[in-house]
Structure 1
Amino acid sequence: MHEPLVLTEKVDERYHYGSISKHIAKFQIGQVVRHRVFAFRGVIFDVDPQFANTDEWYESIPEEVRPSKDQPFYHLFAENDRTHYIAYVSEQNLLADDSDLPLSHPDIPEWFDLTGRGTYELKKHSTN
């Protein structure tokens, strides 16, 4: 009979063993959010439990406003007064948008249905 494996040292929480994150996302897919600082809003279409973009992208953010990588990051169909684009935003920089103003990003109809309540519901074929 084999002896059981026993953990002899404290787990280092800086590492995500087995790629399982301890983070719980505050926002959900289909939710409309706005940026805390910059004048844009959008609908969430994907969530990373922690930073999952390139180091180059991360380093391009000025250090004084660079968010921690150790938090959920959200993919948004984003828009402002001038244009539509895809944004990648840390949880700390997002707020729920309760304005009820419709979004006009051209990719939204392909991914979401607008419900009678004014919310966005992910279409079945958009799930992975």
Structure 2
Amino acid sequence: MGEIRSAKFRIGQIVRHRVFPFRGVIFDVDPVFANTEEWWLSIPEDMRPSKDQPFYHLLAENDESEYVAYVSEQNLVADTSEEPLRHPQLGDYFDGRDGDLYVARGRGLN
């Protein structure tokens, strides 16, 4: 594995997947891959991301459903649409939205 990089995105930030049609809010960050080998190997080899980059836990949603996703940094872009998220677990992690960020529960607005 290579050098650990700093995370490009932060908790509370709204992001979109670069390839697949879903978006979500980041609720946790792993500095490098921290899921199972089975999960990693389930990704088609030609799309499999490097493990030595930040991976993000998202409260994700698409047109049909809401779910939790685990996504590599290389596959995310900032979402600037200003569309509200509807994920039912938002209140478990965030107190609300302040501009383009969701504010983590228990933290003041900065």
Normalising by structure 2, we get a TM-score of 0.91
Task: Quote the residue 2:90 is aligned against.
Answer: 108
CA deviation vs aligned residue, 1:26-84 (integer Å, no higher than 9, x gap): 00000000000000000000000000000000000000000000100000000000000
Report 1 or 2 for greater relative contact order, CA contacts < 8 Å, sequence distance ≥ 6.
2
State the distance in 1 between where 2:6 and 2:98 align. 28
- 1:93 is aligned, of 53, 57, 75, to 75
1:58 has 2:13 as partner: no
- 1:78 is aligned, of 56, 60, 83, to 60
- Identity score, percent: 62
Q: What is the identity, as a one-letter code, of the residue corresponding to 2:58? A: L
Partner-residue secondary structure (3-state), 2:92: helix
1:39 has 2:21 as partner: yes
Q: How many residues align?
A: 107
Q: Kindly report structure 1 stretches of 4+ aligned residues shifted beyond 2 Å.
A: 115-119
Instruction: State the superposition RMSD in angstroms.
Output: 1.5
Normalising by structure 1, we get a TM-score of 0.79
Structure 2, unaligned stretches of length 5 or more? none
Alpha-carbon distance, 1:118 to partner: 5.0
